[in-house]
A and B are shown apart, each in its own frame.
Chain A
Amino acid sequence: MSEYLLEVQNLCKKFPIKGGIFGREVGAVNAVNDVSFKIKKGETLGLVGESGCGKTTLGRSILRLIEPTSGAVIFNGQNIVDFDANQMREMRRKMQIIFQDPYASLNPRMTVQGILSEPMDIHKLCMDKEVRKKRLLDLLDQVQLPADALNKYPHEFSGGQRQRICIARALAVEPEFIVCDEPVSALDVSVQAQVVNLLMDLQKDLGITFLFIAHDLKVVEYISKRVAVMYLGNMVEIAESSELYGGARHPYTKALFSAIPKPDPTLKKDRILLEGDIPSPMNPPSGCHFHPRCWNATDECRKDYPGVKAESSTHEYRCFNPIQLSEK
């Protein structure tokens, strides 16, 4: 088996736009466009980008919660895009997802015991009553919730605790891979740090691989070994997180990092202020989608979409006029 747990190859997802009285297809939104990356076992890949750039669609396409239009998702050496429903159900035991809003993703009428038991019932795990009970308590312990939480309902918990329940539910089937879709965005700063620490501990103890989707670059940079940056459905840069902050080659990455407010009032601001808005993915600009907001754009950028260039074995970007590293 290869060292990579997950390999995504040229994944595309198009959403048709229906129009007219007959509901014909009048266009398509390229939500995810030709995205490829690999994640090693036990590694965290961060995925950042602004709203509407296709982060969530990508995360869900990998789990086939949204059916990808084309491309391959190779998990443990098998292309799961070809799987039928039964194989997929079996496979979902290995791949789980944690959603952004812990208020919306827990059934308000189920107790925590019910919520955590359901995935185990579906996959016929720990069916013995004693074993099940022990497993439930272990799960609560892993996410640092008290044992008496079992008989409570979601509304009795705060946002951070609910997110812990969501994490415990994902862990219930002992997955190898978890997509974390903005798991801390809805939480307060002090609670956010607790959940980030919990996820990092779980990874260390259980060796779980994460795809960590977030728009908060500080959190992503912190938790991930490598970070991928998306813009309008395309992956524009992927690199080691330590390399990306200082050594970004794509102008968008650099602008994105410089836009984050730094919690230090003494720092000199050398912010790159991007002009304009994010274009609509229904009608993306020609050539490189970033060219209307880019300060390095040339005629070439307006005509063609740049291919992938490799800076090193771990650092790839898509840009005709990358930032020269002496510029930084």
Chain B
Amino acid sequence: MAEKILDVKDLVVEFNTDRGGVTAVNGVNLEVFKGKTLGLVGESGSGKSVTALSIMRLIPTPPGNIAAGEIRFRDKNLLDIPLDNMRSIRGNKIAMIFQEPMTSLNPVFTVGNQIEEVLELHQKELSNAQRKEKAIEMLRLVGIPSPEQRIEEYPHQLSGGMRQRVMIAMSLACEPDLLIADEPTTALDVTIQAQILELMKKLQDELGMGILLITHDLGVVAETCDDVAVMYCGQIVETADVKTLFAHPQHPYTKGLIESIPSFDSTSGKVKDRLPTIEGMVPSLFNLPEGCNFQGRCQNVSEKCRGSAGEPKLETIATEHQVRCFHPLS
């Protein structure tokens, strides 16, 4: 078994809003192993990004508040250490890349400046010349042609794919143990997405970091992740290794998500059937139903799901396969 890098236990994150309190993340458990990729899937508002930001302790407090749980990174509980000390971990041991590369890069500094800043903060022993050399080396590593020139350029001079490569170069400059990628390819075109995913895989093989990949695209999950956790309304509803999850989804929501992706194998000429859908929509976090959160959209709903037996628990049904459902699919 590979070394466990990150272990999130029963994480609860709440937000105080004008309309009252909401629990954006409700008892999430995650494990990321060295050299492996965990995919965190879910629709907008399911709490994926809040989970990621909590790991980095970047939740704005107030209004946000990590109410309970543990975030174990190697042997430390990140929630116990003072915020000031977090700065030596962020960008150094745990790095994060965001969805929109344009808004995460500073437009008034050169690319080189921004990569060197990371090194300046975390590797103080390096001289200016060494930092520059390292920045060039990072750009080369992420496949940017003529890095000696690119290092002097500003973000607006780069294309979307190039910017995301720069973001990856920045995040990997200190060789982190854990990389959190929050929808890293959502803003990119498919051919560029393919390049970036390939690059992340290659760098993972070389540097051996664990990746927490947040995405809503199950195609991306199928191609890049080793394990998957599916989130719905702030809770993990199913977790398994990627092959099991796609072959035998146990939660009706997971099954619905997989089926609602149009596939190419439709036979030529014949009138296409309707896409299977999940009826209805995600309930508001302000107004979650009693019992199972998915009851309003579920085909197999019973009295038990409507609250008579409380909330369904995340049950282990096979090795490494857990599901939160009273009536898991066989």
- Residues on A with C-beta less than 8 A from B269 are 242
A188-B43 CB under 8 A given contacts A260-B190, A265-B223: yes
Chain A interface (Cβ < 8 Å from any Cβ of B): 50-51, 158, 160-161, 188-194, 196-197, 200-201, 215, 217-219, 221-222, 240, 242-243, 245, 255-257, 259-267, 269, 271, 273-274, 277-278
Report yes or no: B216 in contact with A189, Cβ–Cβ below 8 A: yes
- A190 and B195 contact, Cβ closer than 8 Å, known pairs A197-B274, A245-B264: no
Contact B194 A263 (CB under 8 A): no
Is the CB–CB distance between B263 and A263 below 8 Å? Answer: yes
Given A193-B278, A259-B191, 9 new contacts (CB under 8 A):
A50-B191, A190-B260, A194-B277, A218-B264, A221-B264, A222-B266, A261-B219, A266-B247, A278-B189
**Taking CB as reference atom, which chain A residue is nearest B194?**
A259
Q: How far is the CA of A308 from the CA of B267 in the complex (A)?
A: 27
CB < 8 Å: which of B160, B189, B222, B257 contacts A189?
B257
Q: Which residues of A are found within 8 Å of B221, using beta-carbon distances?
A: 263
Chain A residues with CB under 8 Å of B242's CB are 265
Which residue of the partner chain A has the closest CB to B259? Answer: A193
Whole-angstrom CA separation of A189 from B216 in the bound complex: 8
Q: Bound state CA distance, A197 and B243, in angstroms?
A: 28
Contacts of A51 on B, CB cut-off 8 Å?
160, 189
Question: Are the CB atoms of B217 and A261 closer together than 8 Å?
Answer: yes
Q: Does B261 sit within 8 A of A, measured CB to CB?
A: yes
Q: Enumerate 8 A-B pairs (CB-CB under 8 Å) in ascending A order.
A: A188-B44, A194-B279, A217-B190, A221-B264, A222-B275, A243-B268, A260-B219, A265-B246
Check: B198 CB closer than 8 A to any chain A CB. Answer: yes
Q: B195 and A196: CB pair below 8 A?
A: no
Q: How far is the CA of A243 from the CA of B220 in the complex (A)?
A: 25
- Contact flags B214-238 to A (C-beta < 8 A → 1, else 0): 0011111111100000000000000
In the complex the two chains form, is B43's CB within 8 Å of A189's CB? Answer: yes
Q: How many residues of B contact A (CB 8 A)?
A: 49
- Interface pair B159/A277, CB less than 8 Å apart: yes
Please state if A277 and B257 are interface contacts (CB–CB under 8 Å): no
B218 touches A263 (CB 8 A): yes
Please, how many angstroms separate the alpha-carbon atoms of A122 and B45 in the complex?
A: 38
When distances are taken between beta carbons in the complex, the residues of chain B under 8 Å from A264 are 222, 246
Say whether A219 contacts B223, CB under 8 Å: no
Distance A255 CA – B268 CA, assembled complex (angstroms):
21
Q: Is the CB of A262 within 8 A of B44?
A: no
Partner of A242, one of B161, B257, B267: B267
Closest to B224 in A: A261
- Specify which chain A residues have a CB less than 8 angstroms from the CB of B266 in the assembled complex: 221-222, 242
- On whether the beta carbons of B278 and A262 are closer than 8 Å, the reply is no
The yes or no answer to B55 lying at the interface (CB within 8 A) is no
Chain B residue at minimum C-beta to C-beta distance from A240? B268
Interface contact B189-A263, CB-CB below 8 Å: no
Complex Cα spacing A269 to B189, Å = 19
- CB proximity of A98 to chain B, nearest CB, Å: 18
The docked-state distance in angstroms from the alpha carbon of A188 to that of B218 is 12
A222 x B262 contact (CB < 8 A): yes
**Contact across chains for B161 and A218 when beta carbons are under 8 A apart:** no
Which listed residue (B161, B216, B222, B275) contacts A263, Cβ 8 A?
B222
- Which residues of chain B come closer than 8 Å to A192, judged between CB atoms? 260
Complex: chain A residue closest to B187, CB-CB: A51
Nearest-CB residue, chain A, relative to B223: A261
- Within the complex, the shortest CB–CB distance from A251 to chain B, in Å, comes to 12
B262–A50 CB distance below 8 A: no
State A273–B282 Cα separation when bound (angstroms).
Answer: 36
Task: Say whether B219 contacts A277, CB under 8 Å.
Answer: no
What are the residues of chain B within 8 A of A269 when measuring CB–CB? Answer: 223
B36 to chain A: closest CB distance in Å? 14
CA A134 to CA B159, docked complex, whole Å = 51
Q: Whole-angstrom distance from the CB of A262 to the nearest CB of chain B?
A: 6
Which of A51, A160, A261: most chain B Cβ within 10 A? Answer: A261
B281 in contact with A191 (CB, 8 Å):
yes
Closest to A247 in B: B268
Q: List chain B residues, Cβ under 8 A from A190.
A: 43, 256-257, 260, 277-278
Which residue of A is nearest B189, CB measured?
A50
Among A215, A261, A273, the residue within 8 A (CB) of B222 is A261
Q: What is the bound-complex CA distance between A192 and B262, given in angstroms?
A: 10
B259 CB to nearest A CB, Å: 8
Partner of B263, one of A161, A188, A218, A261: A218
For the complex, give the distance between the alpha carbons of A104 and B54 in Å. 31
Closest 5 A/B residue pairs (Cβ) = A261-B219, A242-B268, A222-B262, A193-B260, A50-B189
For A262, the chain B residues whose CB sits under 8 A away are: 219, 222-223
Q: Is B102 an interface residue (CB 8 A)?
A: no
Residues of A within 8 A of B223 (CB): 261-262, 265, 269
In angstroms, Cα B192 to Cα A259, docked, is: 9
Q: Are B43 and A263 in contact (CB under 8 A)?
A: no
Complexed CA–CA distance, A193 and B264 (Å): 15
Q: Which residues of B contact A260 (CB under 8 A)?
A: 190, 219
B-side contacts of A240, CB under 8 Å: 268
Contact with A along B21-53 (1 / 0, CB 8 A): 000000000000000000000011000000000
Considering the chains assembled together, what is the distance between the CA atoms of A219 and B275 in angstroms? Answer: 10
| Closest B residue by C-beta to A188 | B43
